[in-house]
C-alpha cells in the first residue's frame, strides 16, 4: 500500500511531519496515516525491542504507507508547510543525541503556528519540567504499572516488547487529532502538546486502581489474577488440559452463570459463597481449587463453549500463533502480508463516512474554545458502560464537551455495582449505586439521564436526544442497539452529521463478534497474556493493568477526534467500528514480527532484545526495586564507572544486582540518573499517583462527591501549552440531570416529563 492508493480517511489531504526514533512516535504517525493523513518522515533508524537483524522489518511495518525522505531541502519544505509535527526525540534519544540534534535542526524550519506533539518517556513538571532519560521499563516502574504485575516475592514485571511506547503513541495520535481539529480555522493553532509515557501509564493505573485502593484491596502483585480477583470473583487465568483460559466475572449474573456451568455445586450454597464479591475478598484461594479442578478436566474449547452456553465471560489464553490464526480476524481481513508472506496488522477500526452532509448541529466546538476547554460546545451521548467506552467519554468531558450519560436503575452501569467503598474496614454509607469509586472515576463530570432503554418509549426518547448531539459512543454487543432502533443507520437518518463510535470486543461482524468479555478476555484472545510472565512456564498475564480497555479507548478516541476533523472539513458524519482485540494486536507489532519470522517467541520477562543491562533489581529493603535501561556503549561506560568496574566488563547485570542490593531504591535511582542513565525506583500506587512527580504533572484531581467525599480522579494525561485538563466535577448521582436535560435539549415541559415518569420511561 502506498500513500497514493490507500482509501481516503477523515484526515485525507493533511500532511504530517513525523520525527521519531522510538515506537511511540512511529506508531502515532502510523495511526494518523491509517486515518488518512499523509505522513512524511526523515530516514532515521528506529530503536526498538527486536533483534538488530529485524530492525528494518519493523520499520517496514510501522512506516508502511508513509513517505520516507532523505533530501534535507525537501524535509525543510515539508516542515514549513505541514499541518502538524509529531516528534519523540526533541530532548532525549537512544542514540547518544544524534537524533535529538537532527530533530532540533528540522524543528528550526517549522513555523511557530504549526502544532507540535512532543512525545517523551519521563518528564517532571509541566511548565518547566525536565525530560529524563527513559525506556519502556523505566516508565513502567515510575508510573506504578510494574508494581502490580508479577508474583508475590518476585520482581515486578514490565510490559514487554515496547508496549508502553505503543500505548503512548496511541494517546499521542488522539492528541494530534485534537490539535488538528483546533487548528482548522482556530486561533489555537501553534499549540504545543506534551505526551509522556509515564503519565499515560499512570493514567491507566489510576483508573483501574479506583477498583482496588478505595475498597482496601491492595494494588500489588498477585500472580496470574487481579489482586483479590479485582473485587468480583473470579478474575484470573485457569489451567486446562491443553493450555489456559481467562475467566472474568464482574456481575452477580455472570458469577451465577459460572456456578451453573460447574453444576451448581454444594460449596456454592454455603453462606457467603453465593456473592462473588464476598468470595473475592474471603474465599478466593479455596474456590480457585474447585474451579481449577473443573477447568483441568476440560480443554480450552470446552470451557469456552460452556461460557457461551451459560453466559459468563471466558476466552482461551492464545499464543500469538493461535491469535494470528483466529477465524474472526480472517473474516474481517484484519491481517495483510508482506513480500515474504509474514502477517501484519491493518487498522483496528473501520470508518464509514456519511453519504451526505448536514445535521442539526454544526459539529464545531464553541467559537471561543481554547486549549483549556478545546471541546467546549460539543455534545456527546454516552451509551457505554464499565470502562472502555466511559473512558472515551470521560476524556471528552475532560476536554470540555458536555456528556449525557444514559443509564437506568434496572440497567445500571456495572461500574455502579462494584460494591461500597471501605474506610477503615467499614462500608461507606449511602445509596448502594452511589458509593462506588470506580464509577466516580469513569464518569466524573458527566450528566446522568435516567431513561429505560429497554422500553420502546425509552429507546425512542434516546433517539430524539441523538438528533441534538455531535457524538454517540457505545460499547455494547453487536446488534443490541439495532434491535432498539438506535444503530448508526437509524440515527444518521435524523442526524447526518453524527459521529458514532461502536467499540465492541471483536468488531461488528464475524463469527466471534457476539461474545461477551472484559479486558482479560481481550488480552487472552490477542495472545498478549502468553507473553507476560517470568518464563513460558510461569505466566502472569495482564490482569491488574487490564490493558484491553484503556488501549481500546485510546484507539477509539483517536479515530473519533479524527472523524470530527473530517466533519469540520466536509460537513459529513462518520461511523467508527472498532475492534478492541484488534487494537491490542495492533500494538503487538514486535512479537508478531518475531513469530512470523522465526516461528518462536520468548517470554522476555524484564529483558530486551537490544538494550543491556535492562531489568529490575532488588534493593536493600524488602520488596523495593530499581529499574534500569542501558541503551548505548556510552551509557554502558557510564554505568561501569559508577559501579567501579573496568569498561567493557562482561556480566554487568550481576554487578548491578550487587550494587543495588546495598542501597535504597531511591538512592540507586538517583545515582543512576545522575550519570545520565534511564532509571527509576519501582513506584507503588500512592507514589505514582500522588508523589512529587505526579503532583508536579497534575496526574490526579481531587473531586468532592456527595457520598464518597473527596476522591482523586485521573484525567486525560496530555498537556498543552503548559497546562493539563483537571476534572470539572465528580461523577453524577443516577438520574440527577434527567429533567434538566430533557427540558434543555428536547424542550419538554414539566407536564410531559411527569407523564414520562408516570409511565416509568424515566426515573
Q: What is the pLDDT of residues 133-154, one digit of tens each?
A: 999 999 999 999 999 999 999 9
Considering the domain architecture, whether residues 374 and 511 belong to the same structural domain is answered as yes
- The answer, yes or no, to whether residue 188 has pLDDT greater than 60, is no
Average pLDDT over residues 277-281: 90
Please state, in angstroms and rounded to a whole number, the distance separating the CA atoms of residues 513 and 494: 27
Q: Please, which pLDDT band fits residue 342 given cuts at 50, 70 and 90?
A: very high
Residues with Cβ < 8 Å from 330, sequence gap 6 or more? Answer: none
Please state, in angstroms and rounded to a whole number, the distance separating the CA atoms of residues 384 and 560: 15
In a domain, 400, yes or no: yes
Average pLDDT over residues 83-97: 95
- The answer, yes or no, to whether residue 258 has pLDDT greater than 80, is yes
3-class DSSP assignment, residue 190:
coil
3-class DSSP assignment, residue 303:
helix
Beta-strand runs (E) in 28-104? 38-42, 67-69, 84-87
**Structural domain total, the chain:** 2
- Looking at the DSSP bridge assignments, the partners of residue 616 are 627
Please state, in angstroms and rounded to a whole number, the distance separating the CA atoms of residues 41 and 82: 12
Considering the domain architecture, whether residues 251 and 386 belong to the same structural domain is answered as no
Please state, in angstroms and rounded to a whole number, the distance separating the CA atoms of residues 24 and 343: 21
- The answer, yes or no, to whether residue 491 has pLDDT greater than 90, is yes
Helices (H) and strands (E) in the chain, counts: 28, 30
In a domain, 215, yes or no: no
Please state, in angstroms and rounded to a whole number, the distance separating the CA atoms of residues 269 and 266: 5
Cβ 594 vs Cβ 620: under 8 Å? no
CA angle in degrees (0–180, nearest 5) for 648-651-656: 100
Please state, in angstroms and rounded to a whole number, the distance separating the CA atoms of residues 523 and 266: 32
Please tell me the least confidently modeled range out of 135-149, 357-371, 461-475: 357-371
CATH number of the domain bearing residue 302: 3.30.1540.10
Range of the domain at 310: 227-318
User: What single string gives the DSSP state of each residue in 535-598?
Assistant: ETTEE--STTT-THHHHHHHHHHHHHHHHHHHHHHHSEEEEEEEEHHHHHHHT-HHHHHHHHHH
Considering the domain architecture, whether residues 488 and 525 belong to the same structural domain is answered as yes
Q: Please, which pLDDT band fits residue 186 given cuts at 50, 70 and 90?
A: low
Residue-wise pLDDT tens digits, 643-689: 999 988 888 999 999 999 999 999 999 999 999 999 999 999 999 99
Please state, in angstroms and rounded to a whole number, the distance separating the CA atoms of residues 495 and 523: 36
Closest CA to 721 of 156, 217, 116: 116
Please state, in angstroms and rounded to a whole number, the distance separating the CA atoms of residues 133 and 141: 13
Q: Please, which pLDDT band fits residue 4 given cuts at 50, 70 and 90?
A: very low
Considering the domain architecture, whether residues 311 and 396 belong to the same structural domain is answered as no
Residues with Cβ < 8 Å from 362, sequence gap 6 or more? Answer: 497
Residue 358: per-residue pLDDT? 75
Considering the domain architecture, whether residues 482 and 385 belong to the same structural domain is answered as yes
Percent of the chain with pLDDT over 70: 97
Considering the domain architecture, whether residues 359 and 242 belong to the same structural domain is answered as no
Considering the domain architecture, whether residues 312 and 357 belong to the same structural domain is answered as no
Residues with Cβ < 8 Å from 253, sequence gap 6 or more? Answer: 311
Cα Rg, the chain, nearest whole Å? 25
Strand 15-19 versus strand 572-579 pairing type: unpaired
On the CB side of 472, CA atoms within 13 Å amount to 30
Cβ 250 vs Cβ 386: under 8 Å? yes
Look at phi and psi of residue 32 and say left if phi exceeds 0, alpha if psi is from -120 to 50, else beta: alpha
Give the domain-ending residue among 318, 333, 362.
Answer: 318
Closest CA to 436 of 252, 707, 763, 716: 707
Cβ 117 vs Cβ 193: under 8 Å? yes
- The answer, yes or no, to whether residue 189 has pLDDT greater than 80, is no
Considering the domain architecture, whether residues 351 and 313 belong to the same structural domain is answered as no
- The answer, yes or no, to whether residue 362 has pLDDT greater than 80, is no
Residue-wise pLDDT tens digits, 551-608: 999 999 999 999 999 999 999 999 999 999 999 999 999 999 999 999 999 999 999 9
- The answer, yes or no, to whether residue 705 has pLDDT greater than 60, is yes
Mean pLDDT of the chain: 93
- The answer, yes or no, to whether residue 5 has pLDDT greater than 50, is no
Please state, in angstroms and rounded to a whole number, the distance separating the CA atoms of residues 215 and 278: 12
In a domain, 630, yes or no: no
Closest CA to 23 of 763, 608, 754: 608
Considering the domain architecture, whether residues 492 and 421 belong to the same structural domain is answered as yes
Helix (H) or strand (E) holding 244: strand 243-248
Which phi and psi (to 5°) does residue 248 adopt? -140, 105
Closest CA to 579 of 318, 245, 380, 347: 347
- The answer, yes or no, to whether residue 516 has pLDDT greater than 90, is no
Closest CA to 388 of 170, 240, 229, 193: 170
Considering the domain architecture, whether residues 313 and 365 belong to the same structural domain is answered as no
Closest CA to 231 of 214, 245, 211: 211
CB count in 10 Å sphere of residue 409: 12
Residue-wise pLDDT tens digits, 623-645: 999 999 999 999 999 999 999 99
Residue 647: per-residue pLDDT? 84
DSSP state of 733: P
User: What single string gives the DSSP state of each residue in 392-412?
Assistant: HHHHHHHTT-EEEEEEBTTB-
Distances (CA, A) of 361 to 366, 469, 472, 494, 499: 11, 7, 13, 11, 11
CA angle in degrees (0–180, nearest 5) for 132-32-505: 95
Residue 6: per-residue pLDDT? 39
Average pLDDT over residues 513-518: 82
Sign of the CA dihedral with 405 first, then 409, 410, and 415 last? positive
Please state, in angstroms and rounded to a whole number, the distance separating the CA atoms of residues 448 and 437: 16
- The answer, yes or no, to whether residue 45 has pLDDT greater than 80, is yes
Sign of the CA dihedral with 694 first, then 695, 698, and 699 last? positive
Residue 3: per-residue pLDDT? 31
In a domain, 195, yes or no: no
Q: Which of the two residues, 369 and 561, has the higher pLDDT score?
A: 561
Give the domain-ending residue among 299, 318, 337.
Answer: 318
In a domain, 210, yes or no: no
CB count in 10 Å sphere of residue 108: 9
3-class DSSP assignment, residue 734:
coil
Give the position of cell 520516507. 68
Instruction: For the chain, give percent helix, strand, coil, nearest 5.
Output: 40, 20, 40
In a domain, 98, yes or no: no
Please state, in angstroms and rounded to a whole number, the distance separating the CA atoms of residues 164 and 693: 19
Please state, in angstroms and rounded to a whole number, the distance separating the CA atoms of residues 689 and 144: 8
Average pLDDT over residues 274-302: 94
Please state, in angstroms and rounded to a whole number, the distance separating the CA atoms of residues 387 and 553: 8
Considering the domain architecture, whether residues 299 and 370 belong to the same structural domain is answered as no
In a domain, 409, yes or no: yes
CATH number of the domain bearing residue 469: 3.40.50.10540
Considering the domain architecture, whether residues 353 and 304 belong to the same structural domain is answered as no
Cβ 315 vs Cβ 525: under 8 Å? yes
- The answer, yes or no, to whether residue 541 has pLDDT greater than 90, is yes
Helix (H) or strand (E) holding 645: none
On the CB side of 20, CA atoms within 13 Å amount to 35
Q: How far is CA 527 from the centre of its chain?
A: 17
As given in the structure block, the three cell numbers for residue 420 are 461500597
Residue-wise pLDDT tens digits, 386-443: 999 999 999 999 999 999 999 999 889 989 988 889 988 899 999 999 999 999 999 9
On the CB side of 70, CA atoms within 13 Å amount to 1
pTM, to two decimals: 0.96
In a domain, 184, yes or no: no
Residue 365: per-residue pLDDT? 52
Amino acid at each position: 500500500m502506498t500513500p497514493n492508493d490507500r482509501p481516503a480517511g477523515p484526515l485525507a489531504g493533511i500532511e504530517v511531519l513525523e520525527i521519531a526514533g522510538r515506537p511511540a512516535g512511529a506508531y502515532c504517525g502510523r495511526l494518523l496515516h491509517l486515518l488518512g493523513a499523509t505522513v512524511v518522515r526523515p530516514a532515521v533508524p528506529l530503536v526498538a525491542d527486536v533483534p538488530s537483524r529485524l530492525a528494518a522489518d519493523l520499520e517496514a511495518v510501522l512506516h508502511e504507507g508513509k513517505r520516507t525522505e532523505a533530501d534535507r531541502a525537501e524535509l525543510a519544505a515539508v516542515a514549513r508547510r505541514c499541518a502538524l509535527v509529531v516528534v519523540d526525540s526533541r530532548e532525549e534519544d537512544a542514540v547518544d543525541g544524534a537524533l535529538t540534534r537532527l530533530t532540533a535542526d528540522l524543528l528550526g524550519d517549522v513555523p511557530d503556528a504549526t502544532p507540535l506533539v512532543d512525545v517523551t518517556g519521563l518528564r517532571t513538571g509541566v511548565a518547566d519540567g525536565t525530560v529524563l532519560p527513559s525506556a519502556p521499563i523505566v516508565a513502567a516502574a515510575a508510573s506504578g504499572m510494574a508494581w502490580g504485575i508479577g508474583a508475590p516475592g518476585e520482581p515486578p514485571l514490565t510490559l514487554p516488547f515496547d508496549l508502553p511506547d505503543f500505548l503512548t503513541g496511541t494517546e499521542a495520535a488522539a492528541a494530534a487529532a485534537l490539535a488538528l481539529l483546533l487548528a482548522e480555522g482556530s486561533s489555537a493553532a501553534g499549540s504545543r502538546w506534551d505526551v509522556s509515557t509515564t503519565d499515560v501509564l499512570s493514567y491507566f493505573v489510576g483508573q483501574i486502581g479506583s477498583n482496588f485502593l478505595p475498597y482496601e484491596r491492595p494494588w500489588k502483585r498477585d500472580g496470574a489474577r487481579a489482586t483479590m480477583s479485582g473485587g468480583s470473583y473470579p478474575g484470573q487465568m485457569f489451567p486446562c488440559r491443553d493450555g489456559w483460559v481467562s475467566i472474568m466475572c464482574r456481575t452477580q449474573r455472570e458469577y451465577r452463570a459460572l456456578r451453573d456451568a460447574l453444576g451448581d455445586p454444594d460449596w456454592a450454597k454455603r453462606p457467603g459463597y453465593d456473592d462473588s464479591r464476598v468470595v473475592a475478598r474471603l474465599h478466593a484461594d479455596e474456590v480457585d481449587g474447585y474451579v481449577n479442578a473443573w477447568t483441568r478436566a476440560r480443554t480450552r474449547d470446552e470451557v469456552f463453549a460452556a461460557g457461551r452456553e451459560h453466559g459468563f465471560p471466558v476466552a482461551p489464553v492464545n499464543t500469538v500463533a493461535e491469535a494470528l490464526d483466529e477465524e474472526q480476524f480472517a473474516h474481517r481481513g484484519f491481517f495483510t502480508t508482506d513480500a515474504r508472506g509474514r502477517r501484519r496488522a491493518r487498522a483496528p477500526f473501520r470508518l464509514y463516512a456519511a453519504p451526505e452532509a448536514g445535521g442539526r448541529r454544526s459539529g464545531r466546538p464553541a467559537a471561543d474554545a481554547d486549549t483549556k476547554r478545546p471541546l467546549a460546545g460539543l455534545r456527546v451521548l454516552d451509551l457505554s458502560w464499565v470502562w472502555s467506552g466511559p473512558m472515551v467519554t470521560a476524556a471528552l468531558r475532560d476536554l470540555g464537551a458536555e456528556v449525557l450519560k444514559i443509564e437506568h436503575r434496572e440497567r445500571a452501569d456495572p461500574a455502579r455495582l462494584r460494591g461500597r467503598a471501605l474506610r477503615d474496614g467499614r462500608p461507606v454509607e449511602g445509596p448502594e449505586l452511589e458509593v462506588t469509586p470506580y464509577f466516580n472515576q469513569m464518569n466524573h463530570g458527566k450528566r446522568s439521564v435516567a431513561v429505560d432503554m429497554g422500553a420502546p418509549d425509552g429507546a425512542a426518547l434516546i433517539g430524539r436526544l441523538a438528533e441534538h448531539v455531535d457524538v454517540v459512543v457505545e460499547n455494547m454487543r453487536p446488534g443490541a442497539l439495532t434491535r432498539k432502533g438506535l444503530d448508526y443507520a437509524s440515527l444518521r437518518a435524523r442526524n447526518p452529521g453524527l459521529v458514532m463510535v461502536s467499540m465492541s470486543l471483536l468488531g461488528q461482524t464475524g463469527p466471534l463478534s457476539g461474545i461477551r468479555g472484559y479486558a482479560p478476555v481481550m488480552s487472552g484472545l490477542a495472545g498478549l497474556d502468553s507473553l507476560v510472565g517470568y518464563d513460558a512456564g510461569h505466566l502472569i498475564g495482564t490482569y491488574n493493568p487490564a490493558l484491553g480497555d484503556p488501549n481500546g479507548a485510546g484507539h477509539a478516541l483517536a479515530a473519533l477526534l479524527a472523524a470530527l476533523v473530517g466533519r469540520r472539513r466536509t460537513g459529513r458524519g462518520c461511523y467508527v467500528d472498532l475492534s478492541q482485540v484488534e487494537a491490542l494486536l495492533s500494538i503487538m507489532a514486535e512479537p508478531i514480527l518475531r513469530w512470523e519470522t522465526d516461528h518462536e517467541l520468548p517470554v522476555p520477562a524484564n529483558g530486551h532484545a537490544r538494550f543491556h543491562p535492562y531489568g529490575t533489581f532488588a534493593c536493600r529493603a524488602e520488596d523495593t526495586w530499581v529499574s534500569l535501561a542501558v541503551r548505548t556503549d556510552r551509557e554502558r561506560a557510564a554505568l561501569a564507572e559508577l559501579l567501579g568496574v573496568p569498561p567493557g566488563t562482561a556480566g554487568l547485570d550481576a554487578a548491578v544486582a550487587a550494587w543495588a542490593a546495598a542501597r535504597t531504591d531511591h538512592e540507586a535511582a538517583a545515582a543512576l540518573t545522575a550519570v545520565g542513565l534511564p532509571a527509576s525506583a519501582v513506584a507503588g500506587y500512592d507514589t505514582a499517583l500522588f508523589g512529587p512527580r505526579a503532583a508536579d504533572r497534575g496526574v490526579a484531581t481531587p473531586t468532592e462527591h456527595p457520598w464518597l467525599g473527596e476522591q482523586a480522579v485521573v484525567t486525560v494525561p496530555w498537556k498543552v501549552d503548559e497546562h493539563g485538563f483537571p476534572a470539572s466535577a465528580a461523577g453524577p448521582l443516577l438520574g440527577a440531570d434527567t429533567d434538566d436535560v430533557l427540558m434543555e435539549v428536547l424542550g419538554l415541559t414539566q407536564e410531559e416529563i411527569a407523564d414520562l415518569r408516570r409511565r416509568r420511561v424515566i426515573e
